Amino acid sequence: MSANTPVLAEGSLAPDFTLNSTEGEITLSKLKGKTVVLYFYPKADTPGCTKEACAFRDLKGEMTDLGAVILGVSKDKMPAIEKFLDKYSLNFPLLSDPDLKVHQAYGAWAPKTMFGKTAFGVIRTTYVIDAEGVIRKVWRRVKVNGHDAQVLEVVKKLAK
């Protein structure tokens, strides 16, 4: 993985993928016809990731009414993801990408600097993908507070 991690542009076609999830295997292209909120989070059951997942959980009914599905992706293995889902009664699929192929395709695995040291890590990133598979909105280095409302606004615009 190079330091030149791609950032997929709004208006480009979302790369297809198939990953194991808490609801079985999920393939992005099989979700055509629905708006997809695809978000990458660093680690299950950590404070920021929990807050983000619970915010999306609380919006699921509204998202479903707008024809949207929410998919959370992490590099965690399925046992940790399933425990996280159960602990917080999450009501949407969480996907496991332990080999980071999907993270890399979506630019969510990149160099990060913490405490003066640079290392590769998960970049909290959200994509809204329209019913035709086109990326309509990208947020990189997401700040969790208020992010759910920003995503909902974009989904509402796509539902019109």
Residue 54 falls in the annotated catalytic set: no
Which of 141, 78, 81, 83 lies closest to 107, judged by CA?
141
Q: What is the pLDDT confidence band of residue 1, given thresholds at 50, 70 and 90?
A: very low
Reported pTM: 0.93
Q: Is the pLDDT of residue 92 over 80?
A: yes
pLDDT class of 62 with cuts at 50, 70, 90: very high
**Class of residue 53 by CB neighbours under 10 A (exposed 0-12, middle 13-18, buried 19+):** buried
The mean of the pLDDT values for the chain is 93
Domains for the chain: give ranges and CATH numbers.
18-159 (3.40.30.10)
Average of per-residue pLDDT across 126-148: 96
Overall average pLDDT of the 133-151 stretch:
95
Q: Rounded mean pLDDT of 38-50?
A: 96
Evaluate if residue 142 carries a pLDDT over 60: yes
In this prediction, residues 111-115 reach a mean pLDDT of 82
Percent of the chain exceeding pLDDT 70 equals 96
Q: Which amino acid is at 48?
A: G
Work out the average pLDDT over 110-114: 83
User: Residue 6's pLDDT is what?
Assistant: 59
Residue 6 token pair = 């791609």
**Which of 31, 49, 59, 68 does the annotation list as catalytic?**
49
